Structure 1
């Protein structure tokens, strides 16, 4: 396929650009469900005149349908997008980014979603869809799946649908999280994912950050110990990755602790642990949930993150060395590849 693509890029460069444009239009319409022409033009940074000509052609081909509220992709259009996806990943340079990161960090699989989730909510939705596909593939009967909180994992939960009922599976929060916004709490996300998959769930009703006294008291409480036992049986962990200082401030940590985290060179936060550039833990939150030893022996660890600003944080967690599958967007992937000196060929976002 790659040899064929290189020949076409040289002989028919205009055709390749046209293919990219029409794929982007169809993909944006599909992810938006229903969208007006003006909104679509703005999202794709395209003039309404150019977009009108393209959408008229796509409608004539039966790939999109129009209604009062806007444009919607047809079933034929959905089928075509699914068929085009492997080809478009090559054309858009996603395969190169995936292979470079996979080899650099020794991962089982890397999935790169075109675009920048910090700029487009559609890209974050696609991250969620990809994570759902991976989870459907990796889950076995009676698995326990531990999930963290955060906006990216909330987006994953929004996209989840189980292909079959998973009544024997359990979704649990990776740790406490009552200090976060309700929609971003691990409890909320675990329960929503379980309902979407037709699975069961247990919740951990403890704060995200505990005092020493509260920690010692709660860890021996029978119900808490029971839930922690289930959490530590997780065969799959699905988690996000946060910028260290952003997460520390969001949790309203003491100024002295934030300074300690900063002086320690922390770049990333995941599971309540703060990691430096080499993947070493420089600070640990006093929280109930998964411990490093639990993570290290978990069979499948899946990270989902996006945005160019997250590149350093993602690399720090990858250096920690216990990830198996990474799902990121193009902006983050391109920044990682460039930082690692693997930036040939360039991604679309750098061209």
Structure 2
């Protein structure tokens, strides 16, 4: 346990264990620790607010299972996980975070992973917050993209080192911008010894966890200051529909021949094939972007919410009949 054991935390944990694991009533716990029932309730609530209590529900509602099967068949996925709709008005961070954490934890255990590649974004951040504590000092958590961003909510640095706090592992970031000012500047960064070492470590990851970006007005890379309004306009003109690890794709999942794709410092999508690549994504207006990324074929495990899953099922008849690979891997993008 990595939580400082001050008396209040210790008592909150004791009450949570007695209630949720031991099955004691609040009255019985109060008698056992010589306090009031009201204080017991407050202590358990404090443990929950501090994210010391994680709840896992085994199984899924029938509609979610049906959607998982339909999406796996439509997009050629090896796995698909759909969380029930919790009625969240905007990005369903609570639902996606809880299910994403469960999926990530299971994948690490299933592969006995020693190296995990990590993307960026608010959804992955929510997954890390919901992860159970793991005793994995051998685990290496490595950024799949440049870690120097303007805001913590989109930074792999922030996600990775909070992941380290949940697992006891070691974090590795790419000390470079996500997007460089020019292709020449990018080449200079890629020649640096430290960056080469981290990128080589990323190549050994057996599990990769990524987000998916849609190019709306609230697109995270734009609100985070990493791309400009004019660059976003140019992407729309070029036919960009979705983004994964800084690579912009058209509706068929093909990487676009645009300047930003040549200035990004990120793992080559082609190099991720053959591993378990988990994409956690959902929410209003996200379905077209997710469909484009799934059609690329690099993602083989989708985690999404029930509403988005239904939209993807409805989109499926109108998209390409099968998942396609990228036309030509860019050897200079890793």
Q: Same fold (TM over 0.5)?
A: yes
Residue correspondence of structure 1 range 120-269 to structure 2 within 5 A: 121-141=93-113, 143-163=114-134, 165-212=135-182, 213-245=184-216, 246-247=219-220, 249-250=222-223, 251-269=225-243
Question: For 1:44-59, what aligned pairs fall within 5 Å after superposition?
Answer: none
After superposition, the Cα gap between the structure-2 partners of 1:79 and 1:127, relative to the gap in structure 1 and judged at 3 Å, is closer
Distance 1:179 1:105, change over 3 A: same
1:306 matches 2:279? no
CA distance in 1, matches of 2:54, 2:166: 24
Contact 1:303 1:323 in 2 (8 A): yes
Structure 2 equivalent of residue 30 of structure 1: none
8 Å contact 1:108–1:324 — kept in the other structure?
A: yes
* Post-superposition offset of 1:112: 0.3
Shift of the alpha carbon at 1:304? 0.3
Q: TM-score, normalised by structure 2?
A: 0.71
Counterpart Cα distance in 1 of 2:91 and 2:146: 30
Q: For the Cα contact (< 8 Å) 2:120–2:156, is it kept in 1? A: yes
Relative distance call for 1:334 and 1:217 in structure 2 (3 A) is: same
Greater Cα shift, 191-200 or 119-128: 119-128
CA distance in structure 2 between the partners assigned to 1:314 and 1:100 by the alignment: 15
Count of matched residue positions in the alignment of Structure 1 and Structure 2 = 271
Moved more, 279-288 or 314-323: 279-288
State which of 41, 56, 61 in structure 2 corresponds to 1:89. Answer: 61
1:313: Cα distance to partner? 0.8
Q: Label 1:191 to 1:105 Cα distance change in 2 as closer, same or farther (>3 A).
A: same
Task: Calculate the TM-score normalised by the size of structure 1.
Answer: 0.68
- 2:83 is aligned to 113
Evaluate the alpha carbon distance shift between residue 109 and residue 218 of structure 1 in structure 2; reply closer, same or farther with a 3 A threshold: same
Going from structure 1 to structure 2, the CA distance change for 1:119 and 1:154 (only over 3 Å counts) comes to closer
Question: How far is 1:307 from its partner?
Answer: 0.9
1:119-163 per-position Cα deviation (integer Å, ceiling 9, x unaligned): 65532432333333333433425x321111100011111112244
Q: Indicate if the aligned counterparts of 1:244 and 1:274 stay in contact, CA closer than 8 A.
A: no
Unaligned 5+ residue runs, structure 2? 1-15, 17-24, 29-36, 46-52, 319-334
Instruction: Single out whichever of 183-192 and 118-127 deviates more from structure 2.
Output: 118-127
CA distance in 2: counterparts of 1:225 and 1:170, whole angstroms? 16
